[in-house]
Amino acid sequence: MRGADLLVKALTDAGVTKVFALSGNQIMSVFDAGIGTELQLIHTRHEAAAVHMADAWGRLTGRPGVALITAGPGLANALSALYVARLAESPLVLLSGHTPVSQLGLGAFQEMPQAELAAHVTKASWMASDGAQLGHDIERAMAIAVSGRPGPVQVSLPADVLESEILGDSADPISETLDSLSPVLLLSENAIGQLADALTNARKPLVLGGPAMSRGRSLEALQAFSDATGVPAIAMESPRGVNDPSLGAFAEVLVQADLILLMGKRLDFMVQFGSGPDINPDAVFMHVDADEDAVAHSRTRLEALGRATAVQLGDPVDALKRLAAAVNASSRGWRDEVSQAVAYRPAQWREIESASGEPLHAVEICRAVQGYLDGSADSIYVSDGGEFGQWAQACLSTSRRVINGPAGSIGSSIPLAIGARAAYPDARIVTMLGDGTFGFHPAEFDTAVRNNLPFIAVVGNDSTWNAEYQIQLRDYGSARLVGCELSPATRYDEVVTALGGFGELVTEASELGPALQRAHNSGLPACINVIMARNAAPLIRRED
């Protein structure tokens, strides 16, 4: 048995069925070892795309997605995608080839300090050094990825470690478990009592969860706590922070809160660092988090602000479950007020209709897409950054979604949709992206075609990098617009057709619904190229 064979066995023993991969010299032994096993390699066109696909898998399933890429430049290509996953708190494991151990320090081909580079954008990163220990490396990586605050883990695999022969049963047994690697810290009864008293006595308490609290069992715990206590609880995962369009007029109620309990939510830009125009200057802050760095940061920051605070290291999900029984139910009026603010959308949006021959408004596009998604109880929408992505988040509603997250990146939407399809083969999946975003990973339509992973990409084509265009227009004026124009004639739909998918151009609102249905009926990865107006992202306020 080679190290590569043990690696593949460890992955399959862990329940991994799909690996998002891009081939390279140092990992060919892993490709070879996978032959005849239940491990399916989904071979991509870019290393970052492979990581984005694993990211979507991790966010949607709660189990680590796995990506496999080559060394050196391959690892470097993946760093931005690791950063996106890190801030989105997405569990994934990135396995990357590496220079042979025997050649380290000699100026070997593609030699690079991979573990050190990846350490800045992962929960943990290391180089495997012993073929007999590879099963342990996989077990450890999978456990770290899901423990505490979830996130990506990177393991570099030297070629000679993968190719080393492991004699008989000499592979070291895996002795460490998830609990021993990352024990769950539970709050004391005194700490729970302190939090419960504060929540009970506050006039307008508010619980805020981070990205990982917006999905799966964590979201269920957040919602169950709110239902049991009447305390409003909101999960935040948008780069727009308190101005997240999917949270409606949330900023208007946040500023009223006299107690803000952060549950697995960093005290970062998303909540204006605890002091900003949308934060009540008299609000008391409390924080429960499984991440020691997040807890230390909150203590330091809140002390510097002179705010009364209680910061605890512990498991937020367990704390929410125990608080649900410990907090005396409060008036539901405050929770209703918060819910109404979050649900609010301007009434005039319902009246928006473009004239025939005019570019569509983003609201019209979303209206048709929502109609398509409503055709199935099992639907997922994906949205990227930029102005069009913000409209999608404001207007679309499904049981599951994947957005670009706090990193505020663009370019991830196509591979995220492919990862979503790999995880959910029967769901309706639409990704909303701008024409600028399309240029990052269009070749992944080839990946989707080859692997029979259909989805529908709706490209909002306003022939510009619109987020930057809007900044220039606002800050510098119309006479100083530069470097944001894209060609209005580019046929993104025909690019996808050329790669084997389905493509269609839409210029009228009445055409979009039927086009979506034709894309669905094609059974192919599809692109609907919609000519749209240059709409600035919505900033929702109830006085609008």
d(CA 333, CA 350): 28
- Whether residue 160 sits in one domain with residue 298: no
Count the domains in the chain: 3
d(CA 396, CA 408): 19
- Whether residue 193 sits in one domain with residue 173: no
Per-position pLDDT tens, the chain of length 544: 999 999 999 999 999 999 999 999 999 999 999 999 999 999 999 999 999 999 999 999 999 999 999 999 999 999 999 999 999 999 999 999 999 989 888 888 888 999 999 999 999 999 999 999 999 999 999 999 999 999 999 999 999 999 999 986 555 555 555 445 556 789 999 999 999 999 999 999 999 999 999 999 999 999 999 999 999 999 999 999 999 999 999 999 999 999 999 999 999 999 999 999 999 999 999 999 999 999 999 999 999 998 878 999 999 999 999 999 999 876 789 999 999 999 999 999 999 999 999 999 999 999 999 999 999 999 999 998 789 999 999 999 999 999 999 999 999 999 999 999 999 999 999 999 999 999 999 999 999 999 999 999 999 999 999 999 999 999 999 999 999 999 989 999 999 999 999 999 999 999 999 999 999 999 999 999 999 999 999 999 987 4
Domain with 449, as residue range(s), is: 347-531
- Whether residue 280 sits in one domain with residue 370: no
- Whether residue 331 sits in one domain with residue 352: no
Q: Specify if 536 maps to a domain.
A: no
- Whether residue 412 sits in one domain with residue 331: no
- Whether residue 326 sits in one domain with residue 204: yes
Q: Which residue has the tokens 């025909």?
A: 494
Q: How far is CA 461 from CA 150, 194, 360, 488, 531, in A?
A: 35, 53, 10, 8, 5
Helices (H), 399-529: 413-423, 435-438, 444-450, 466-475, 492-498, 509-522
Cβ atoms 480, 455 nearer than 8 A: no
Question: What CATH code is carried by the domain that includes residue 204?
Answer: 3.40.50.1220
d(CA 247, CA 238): 9
Question: What CATH code is carried by the domain that includes residue 54?
Answer: 3.40.50.970
- Whether residue 169 sits in one domain with residue 65: yes
- Tokens standing for 246? 């999917």
Calculate helix-pair angle for 509-522, 362-373, nearest 10 degrees: 40
pTM score over 0.85:
yes
- Whether residue 159 sits in one domain with residue 212: no
